[in-house]
Amino acid sequence: MSVIKTYDSSGEQNGTLIPLWHVDKGPRIDQVYLTTILSGAMKGPHLHLKRKGLFFCVRGEVTVVRRWYQHGIYEYESTVLKPGAPPAEVREGIPAAIYNFGDEEALVLNMPSPPWRENDIDEHKVTDWNWRP
């Protein structure tokens, strides 16, 4: 991801633009929603069997943790996200959690595919979650 400086009509910098997604550069996106995570809080762990998610951090800093089962043991992989960082993907069938270790509420865009629907429950409980930072 690149951060592009933006300027007003007099040539003074007035902010930045961070391209998040382009249809030509990644998988299909079916839905976009914003989730917030309070300081010191965690969302998950949970599991989607038929839905993947693509996560961008808009404000704050979060850690996305995924769990794999290999050779009879659980292995964890974590990705730190902050504004302007590349997204983190959580594939269907992979348990995951998102942690906010920062001092402010984090804002995270989630782009699930297929889209979340209220009458299509695809959130499953995860047991034996033992990840530690």
Complete DSSP assignment for 67-125: EEEETTEEEEEEEEE-TTSPPEEE-TT--EEEE--SSS-EEEEE--BSPP-TTS---EE
Domain 26-125, CATH homologous superfamily name and number: Jelly Rolls (2.60.120.10)
Q: What is the pLDDT of residues 94-103, one digit of tens each?
A: 999 999 999 9
Q: What is the pLDDT of residues 62-73, one digit of tens each?
A: 999 999 998 999
Q: With 0.75 as the threshold, say if the pTM is over it.
A: yes
Share of the chain above pLDDT 70, in %: 93
